[in-house]
Amino acid sequence: MTQDGESEPVSGIAYEPEMRKGVSKKIVALVIVAMVVGASGLFVWYEYFRPWSTKDIAKEVINDPLVATPGFDHSLAGKEITVKGRVTNITTYQTTLGNQTFVELDHFWEIRLQIWGEVKYKLGDRIKMKVHFEWSTCNDERHVYSPQVDFPNFVLPSVGVVVDSVSYVRGMVLISNESADGRVVVTVFDQFPPIRLADANCSLRAGTASFAAEYVQVLGGWNYGREIDRISNLTNGVGVNRTLRFFDSDHDGNISNGDRFEASGLARPDTESGIRTYLLTVGLTNVTDPIYSEDIAGNTYLVMTHRGLLRILEPITPYARQSSETIPDGVMSTVVKVTTPVPWSKVAIMLHDGTNFVRWYPSTGELDNGSNSTAYLGNLDIGSLNVSCTVVDLLGNGVLDEGDYFILNTWLGTSFAPSQNYTVGVVYEPMGEQICRSVFHG
């Protein structure tokens, strides 16, 4: 502004009052109306029809400190947008509902696209994908979510993996699946030590919250959700509300391998992006767990989607049982059972002598001949020993599963010492964790 208050010309666009001369006020008003309508049309186009980045989607997450459990801005419900960007990361999980893939665009990892089934995109591709938003539920809450966006529920199946791992440390491995008629079947894959049925109870609780409140509650295990059924004493196999049942499959009076829990009629969300969660807990009635000072023997977290039970199969470390027997100049280990068959190229056979550690790496290609396949993995030195490893895939199906075995043999005049404990087992390479192991001596 100049000192006398007149407008200065804006660079390049001189203000020329003479141009207004002769133009009626009516026409000026019409032009203004047209401009406003045009601008709002442009605004609508800009909001919904322009290609979005995943960063733009992140801006639509409700960011209100009073809303602890956000979804997307409610104005997006029912809208479809096109998301555009360059693929900078692709992560695929095998799940009970098929392959679930998360596609990161332009290195923006906070919000990723979510695709079920086949993915036609590759790293580096410039892509466009349609994304729609809908009113949906997570347990007792209602939010606007999108089936094509990972936020905020993608983390729940991973929370399930953590809950299962904690249960495994307590001695109980529970594996959930869904039967053809929609019952959720939770099998006791492994339980050590055995628990008498009379000492055990089981509760089934339904989640009530979403987002952070849900993670905190389920990982804390305390006061999670609301109880929908309970079996107070497992010698009686039916819950009060008849939702939950227990089957002592081998009739040995204990919770033991192969026994199962079943939950029928669990509510599931009615939209694609919705989630309902449940926690099945096996409790100890008369014994207090000396490690945790809690009365929990084990538990498993169930994530129910519109299409059914969602559990990650790969890549997570499976559980296997292995039995080992010493043979002349060596040891033979057989895989008795595994929760999820794993390709041989994702595992290593390991030997530990208390001080030293060696690994052999099988390849799937050598062990998928379609019938009994043998792979010789070579000799390695461990301490003063020279040891070879041979893997046999019983069916030649290229995956580590029931009945497959591996043999470790000593060579060059060396042999496993009778006074020494050795550990032999299988390591799941993507996580660097043991799938199974057993201890033997010479």
Binding site for Ca ion (CB under 5 A): 248, 250, 252, 254, 256, 259, 393, 397, 401, 404
**136 vs 201 by CB, closer to Ca ion:** 201
Cβ within 8 Å of residue 237, ≥6 positions away: 231, 245, 246, 247, 248
Cβ within 8 Å of residue 96, ≥6 positions away: 177, 178, 308, 309, 310, 311, 313
Cβ within 8 Å of residue 16, ≥6 positions away: none
**25 vs 251 by CB, closer to Ca ion:** 251
Burial class (CB in 10 A: 0-12, 13-18, 19+), 349: buried
Q: Nearest to residue 94, comparing CAs of 313, 311, 308, 310?
A: 313
**250 vs 381 by CB, closer to Ca ion:** 250
Quote the least distance from Cβ 146 to Ca ion, whole Å.
40
**309 vs 320 by CB, closer to Ca ion:** 320
- Say whether the peptide bond before residue 193 is cis (omega within 30 degrees of 0): yes
- Would you tell me how many other CB atoms lie within 10 Å of the CB of residue 110? 12
Residue, CB closest to Ca ion: 256
What does residue 138 show for φ and ψ, rounded to 5 degrees? Answer: -120, 110
Quote the least distance from Cβ 136 to Ca ion, whole Å.
40
Where b means 16+ CB within 10 Å and e means fewer, 34-55 reads: eeeeeeeeeeeeeeeeeebebe
**Residue 51 near residue 128, CB atoms below 8 Å:** yes
**114 vs 257 by CB, closer to Ca ion:** 257
**104 vs 259 by CB, closer to Ca ion:** 259
**Residue 157 near residue 311, CB atoms below 8 Å:** yes
Cβ within 8 Å of residue 110, ≥6 positions away: 54, 55, 58, 151
Quote the least distance from Cβ 180 to Ca ion, whole Å.
24
Quote the least distance from Cβ 348 to Ca ion, whole Å.
16
Quote the least distance from Cβ 188 to Ca ion, whole Å.
8
Quote the least distance from Cβ 248 to Ca ion, whole Å.
4
For residue 63, the SS3 value is coil
**136 vs 364 by CB, closer to Ca ion:** 364
Distance CA 187, CA 261 (A): 6
Quote the least distance from Cβ 263 to Ca ion, whole Å.
19
**210 vs 254 by CB, closer to Ca ion:** 254
**146 vs 257 by CB, closer to Ca ion:** 257
Quote the least distance from Cβ 322 to Ca ion, whole Å.
14
Taking the mean position of all CA atoms in its chain, how far away is CA 114?
13
**Residue 441 near residue 416, CB atoms below 8 Å:** yes
Distance CA 441, CA 423 (A): 9
Quote the least distance from Cβ 231 to Ca ion, whole Å.
14
